[in-house]
Amino acid sequence: MADNAMAKSTLHRRIWTALWLAALVLGAVWLLPTAALALFLGAFVLIAAWEWCGLAGINAPLVRGGYLLLMAAVLLGLWRYAAQLWPLLLVMSLLWWLLQSWRLWRIQAIPINPTPQPHLLLVGLLILSATWTAVLSVHQLTPHGPGLVLALLLLIATADSAAYFSGRRWGRTKLAPHLSPGKTWAGVYGALTGAALVSASIAFWLDLSPLHSVAMLVLGVLVAMLSIVGDLYESLLKRRRHLKDSSQLLPGHGGLLDRIDSLTAAAPLYALGLTWAVTGFPLELLTDR
């Protein structure tokens, strides 16, 4: 009886946290101009950067505070020199995630590593700033920027939900048992199917040509695949530290990184690919701010 009551309490916390967090983010994406959204998302990035220090084994508050100042300076520089830096940063991030896609499948064991890993702070600078950049670059595309950001969030959420339910129903073969024992290949197929349906809806909404609709469909599937890589990579970092969650910030959900791990890998590809799928021209990420 006590276990059932605890399970219900945990479920209620998860639901309420998910509802208020979703309302906050969706409202900001839809209502705020890009400059204001940059500040809003910048606060989220700094929270994620604090949690990232824990995954890197950096626990000294002074060092963590310095890292947050560095992250803030990087974001400010990216905003100031957007035209020169944004495309390059997104390409660098995408290449890094493609490398992780190859690397993660080769892992056969994950030893606990209690020592600090300062090099991971550089990795955090890259992927967190690239996520911020990717979302803003899509948000300022006219006239559908905010809707396209919400479409990205919907695509990732749909892929994640489809993976969960299809994995529970048909999952037999494990995807990466050393990294995430609950993930199965059936879940992957469900995620890709869900992403394809959302991508087809996006193409219909944008009234794309047949060629660009196919490009949008392919992009959605690739984004879903890379979102799984982001999830697995954070699982790797947590297992090295023997952690269940990146923090206890969000009741019932763990830390902020636990909620955006898929987004960190998916957003750069979505931002880069969207310019091809929708406009047919590469790296046209900057419009009027």
pLDDT tens across the length of the chain (289 residues): 544 554 455 567 778 888 888 899 999 999 999 999 999 999 999 999 999 999 999 999 999 999 999 999 999 999 999 888 888 999 999 999 999 999 998 888 888 888 999 999 999 999 999 999 999 999 998 788 999 999 999 999 999 999 999 988 898 888 888 888 888 999 999 999 999 999 999 999 988 888 888 989 999 999 999 999 999 999 999 999 988 888 888 877 789 999 999 999 999 999 999 876 555 544 343 333 3
Cβ contact 236:106 at 8 Å: no
- Tokens 């950096």 correspond to what residue? 58
Cα-based angle 161, 166, 172 (whole degrees, multiple of 5): 135
Q: Which two tokens stand for residue 158?
A: 């749909």
Alpha-carbon distance of 222 to 225, in angstroms, equals 5
Does pTM top 0.75 for this prediction? yes
Report the candidate in 122, 91, 48, 126 with the shortest Cα–Cα distance to residue 283: 91
Q: How many CB atoms sit inside 10 A of residue 229's CB?
A: 23
Cα–Cα distances in angstroms (integers) from residue 140 to residues 54, 65, 244, in the given order:
33, 31, 36
Q: Which two tokens stand for residue 175?
A: 């995807």
The pLDDT of residue 7 is: 46
The pLDDT of residue 98 is: 95
DSSP label of 278: I
237-277 pLDDT per residue, tens:
999 998 888 888 887 778 999 999 999 999 999 999 987 65
Alpha-carbon distance of 287 to 82, in angstroms, equals 11
Cβ contact 167:183 at 8 Å: yes
Report the candidate in 142, 133, 145, 29 with the shortest Cα–Cα distance to residue 81: 133
DSSP label of 81: T
